[in-house]
Amino acid sequence: MPAKGATGVLTMMMPYLLMVALQFGLAGTYTLAMRALEHGMSRYVFVVYRNAIAALALAPFALFLEREIRPKMTPSVFLQIAFLGLLEPVIGLHFTYLGMTYTNASFGSAITNAVPSITFMMAVILRLEPLKLKELPGMAKVAGTGFTFAGTLVMTLYKGPVIHLPWSKVTSQAWPNDDATDKHWIVGATFMFVACVAWSAFYVLQSITVIAYPAEISLASLICLAGAIEGAVMALVGEHRHGAWDIGWDSRLVAPLYTGIVGSGITYYLQLLMSKSRGPVFVTAFNPLNMIVLAVLGSLTQSERLHLGSVIGSVVVVVGLYTVLWGKNKDYSEAIAMREEGREAPKPSAAAGDQAQ
C-alpha cells in the first residue's frame, strides 16, 4: 500500500515536476539567445537554425517510437501544422528577439507572464473555456485576467529606478542615458506583447491539433520543420548581410543548439503532452518561475539591471495569474466531484485544461 501510495503521489505530481523543470531549462534559452544576438547573430538566421535543429533532434524519436501510432496526415491537420509553425516558431520568436534587443532577457521573460491570461481570453472568445460570471471561480478568472493586463501595462509604461541586487556584478561601463532609452523600452515591450499574442494563439491551436493528430513527438517535429521552412523564407527576404549564415565556436553555435533542443524540441513535446491532458492554460501557468530564475541568472552572468517597474508589474501579473488558476482549480474540483457522483462532467476543452487523463 505505501508503495502504491507513493506511486500515486508521484504520478499526480509528475505534470507539475515536468513543467517546473522545463522552466529552468527555458531560462537558459533567453540568456543564450540574448548573448548570441549581442554577438551579431541575425535573428532571422537564429530562428531558422533553432527550428531546424529541433526538428532534426526530434525526428529519430518520432520515426521509431511513434511509427505504429502515427495517424495519417489530413489537409486540415497539415494546414494547422503550417499555421502553428508560423505562430510561435516564427512570429513569436522574431518579435521576442526583436523586443529583447530593445530591453533585456529578464524583461522579456517577465512580460511573457501575460501569456496565460491572453490564452484564457482567446479561449473564452472562441467558447473553448467555460465561464460562469455569477459564480466565484468565474469572477476570479475575470479579475485575474484584469490584474495580469494591469501588471503588463505597468512593466511597459513604468520603468522606475534600478534595483541593485547584492550579487549583481558591478561594472564601470557607463549605461546609456535613461531618458534616451525609455522610448526604446516601450518599443521593445510592444514587440514583446505581440509575441505574447502569437504564443497564446499557438497554445490554443496546439491543444486542438494534438487531439486530431495524437502523436506528440511527430507533431512537435513537424511544427519545428514548418517553422524552419517558413523562417528560411522570411530570412531570405529580410536578411541580406554577407556572412549572416556563418556560425562560430561561440554563442552563435551554442545558442541555436541549446534553444533548438531544449527551447523548441523538448519544450514543444512536453507542452503537447500537457496540453492534451491539462490544456494550454496549465502549460503557461509556470511562466513566473521562469522570470524569477532568469532575473537571478541575468544579474549574475550579464549584469542586467532590474528596474522597479518590472518588479511591481511582475508581482501584479503573478497575483492575477494565480487568481485565474485558483478559479480553474475550482472548476477542476467540481468536474471531479461530478464524475465521482456519476454525473457527466464537462469535457476538458482545448483551452480549459480541466481534466488530466
Question: Where do the domains of the chain lie?
Answer: 15-340
What pLDDT score does 76 carry?
A: 95
Q: How confident is the model at residue 238 (pLDDT cuts 50, 70, 90)?
A: confident
Q: Please count the other Cβ atoms lying within 10 Å of the Cβ belonging to residue 95.
A: 22
Question: What pLDDT band is residue 1 in, cutting at 50, 70 and 90?
Answer: very low
User: What is the pLDDT confidence band of residue 259, given thresholds at 50, 70 and 90?
Assistant: very high
Residues 67-92 have a mean pLDDT of: 92
Average pLDDT over residues 65-90: 92
Q: Poorest-confidence range of 89-103, 235-249, 315-329? A: 315-329
SS in 3 state form for the chain?
Answer: CHHHHHHHHHHHHHHHHHHHHHHHHHHHHHHHHHHHHHCCCCHHHHHHHHHHHHHHHHHHHHHHHCCCCCCCCCHHHHHHHHHHHHHHHHHHHHHHHHHHHHCCHHHHHHHHHHHHHHHHHHHHHCCCCCCCCCCHHHHHHHHHHHHHHHHHHHHHHCCCCEECCCCCCCCCCCCCCHHHHHHHHHHHHHHHHHHHHHHHHHHHHHHHHHHHCCCHHHHHHHHHHHHHHHHHHHHHHHCCCCCCCCCCCCHHHHHHHHHHHHHHHHHHHHHHHHHHHCCHHHHHCCHHHHHHHHHHHHHHHCCCCEEHHHHHHHHHHHHHHHHHHHHHHHHHHHHHHHHHCCCCCCCCCCCCCCCCC
Instruction: Provide, rounded to the nearest whole percent, the portion of the chain with pLDDT above 90.
Output: 23
Confidence band of 105 (pLDDT split at 50, 70, 90) = low
- For residues 260 and 156, the model is more confident at 260
- Cβ–Cβ < 8 Å for 20, 286: yes
Question: Does residue 257 surpass a pLDDT of 60?
Answer: yes
- Grid cell listed for 9: 503521489
Confidence of residue 63 (pLDDT cuts 50, 70, 90): very high
Q: Please state which of the ranges 64-68, 198-202, 324-328 shows the lowest mean pLDDT.
A: 324-328
Residue 171 has pLDDT above 70, yes or no: no
Average per-residue pLDDT in the chain? 79
- Which of 4-8, 82-86, 200-204 is least confident? 4-8
For the segment 305-316, the average pLDDT, to the nearest whole number, is 78
Residue whose C-alpha cell reads 508521484 in the numeric block: 10
Closest among 311, 301, 306 to 164, alpha carbons compared: 306
The average pLDDT across 104-119 equals 74
* Among the listed residues 252, 139, 124, the one whose alpha carbon sits nearest the alpha carbon of residue 200: 124
Residue 46 is predicted with a pLDDT of 93
Q: Which amino acid is at 256?
A: P
pLDDT in tens, 317-357: 778 877 877 887 777 677 667 766 665 544 444 433 333 33
Q: What is the dihedral of CA 114, 119, 125, 130, to 10 degrees?
A: -110
Q: Among 38-42, 290-294, 306-310, which stretch is predicted with the lowest mean pLDDT?
A: 290-294
Q: Which has the higher per-residue pLDDT, 284 or 98? A: 98
181 class by beta-carbon count within 10 Å (0-12 exposed, 13-18 middle, 19+ buried): middle
The CA distance from 320 to 150, in Å, is 9
